[in-house]
């Protein structure tokens, strides 16, 4: 299974780039985040014409996630949301089964400013995600949790870690919150194959961040042991940040043998 995850930062703006990327890369599964569109606004027909279909959890103007699969690889048991009985209507999590693999894609809250209500919501959302995993899944099953986590896990995932320490994307609290999620039984697939720093998935549109490679690795593919044992390769498609109308995030990819 070749799986990719990509925060497109508006599916309507990035529609043509998405279609070109699908044609060039042909993943078995593509998880999308930050659609900023309702399900009705999602380009279903164009995606089907490209040989893909899938499930969409949309929201007008904000958030939104999707799981796309290539033709002949159906999605089963699609489940939206954290299912924890709250009145939180944010479209941030979508789960489905592809063959024997459970795929969960997430768009974690940004947090805005450390100490704000939105930051508290981000930390609480991580706690809810850990509870969701405990309630609905098992570490013995082949499971992928992927998406935009809006946190860089370690210093090697940030170009200027000292300058980002007080940011919502690298504060000690959000890194600890992410570790609580991974402690459930998940491994960062990218780090199975790449130990060095300098690999990022997000660059700010401002201050020439991309040409300077002044970025952060916020987009992750986390997997349980049955999958990490069969992870044959991972990569970041840095080229997708180039050119007109690029998202500020790029796709991350992982390949798993025998799935």
The per-residue pLDDT for 259 is 83
Q: Where in the sequence is the domain holding 8, given as residue range(s)?
A: 2-256
Per-residue model confidence as pLDDT tens digits over 154-176: 999 999 999 999 999 999 999 99
Per-residue pLDDT band for 142 (boundaries 50, 70, 90) equals very high
Q: Is 87 a catalytic residue?
A: no
Instruction: Find the CATH number of the domain harbouring 95.
Output: 3.60.10.10
Average pLDDT over residues 6-20: 98
pLDDT at 107: 99
Residue 258's pLDDT is what?
86
Instruction: Catalytic residue, from 28, 52, 132, 148: name it.
Output: 148
Which entry of 28, 52, 107, 119 is annotated as an active-site residue?
A: 107
> Average pLDDT of the chain?
98
What is the model's pLDDT at position 87? 81
To which H or E segment does residue 231 belong? strand 231-236
- Tally of domains in the chain: 1
In tens, the pLDDT along 74-95 reads 999 999 999 999 988 999 999 9
Token pair in block for residue 217 = 């690795």
Per-residue pLDDT at 105: 99
Whether residue 205 lies in the annotated active site: no
- Percent of the chain surpassing pLDDT 70: 100
Q: Taking residues 168-197, what's their average pLDDT?
A: 99
Residues 6+ positions from 219 with CB-CB distance below 8 Å? 5, 6, 7, 146, 147, 148, 149, 201, 202, 249, 250, 252
């Amino acid at each position: 299974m070749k799986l990719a995850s990509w925060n497109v930062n508006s599916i309507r703006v990035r529609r043509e780039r998405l279609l070109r990327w699908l044609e060039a890369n042909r993943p078995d599964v593509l998880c999308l985040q930050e659609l900023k569109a309702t399900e009705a606004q999602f380009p279903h027909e164009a995606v089907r014409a490209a040989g893909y279909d899938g499930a969409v959890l949309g929201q007008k103007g904000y958030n939104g996630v999707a799981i796309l699969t290539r033709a002949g690889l159906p999605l089963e048991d699609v489940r939206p949301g954290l299912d924890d009985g709250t009145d939180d209507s944010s479209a941030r999590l979508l789960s489905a089964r592809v063959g024997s693999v459970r795929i969960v894609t997430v768009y974690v809250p940004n947090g805005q400013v450390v100490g704000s209500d939105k930051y508290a919501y981000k930390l609480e959302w991580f706690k809810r995600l850990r509870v969701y995993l405990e309630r609905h899944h098992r570490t013995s099953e082949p499971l992928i949790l992927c998406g935009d986590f809006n946190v860089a896990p370690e210093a090697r995932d940030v170009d200027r870690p000292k300058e980002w320490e007080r940011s919502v994307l690298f504060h000690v609290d959000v890194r600890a919150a992410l570790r609580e999620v991974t402690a459930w039984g998940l491994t960062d697939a990218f780090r199975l194959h790449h130990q060095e720093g300098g690999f990022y998935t997000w660059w700010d549109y401002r201050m020439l961040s991309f040409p300077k490679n002044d970025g952060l690795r916020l987009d992750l593919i986390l997997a349980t042991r049955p999958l990490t044992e069969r992870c044959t390769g991972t990569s970041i498609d840095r080229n997708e940040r180039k050119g007109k109308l690029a998202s500020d995030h790029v796709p991350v990819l992982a390949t798993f043998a025998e799935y």
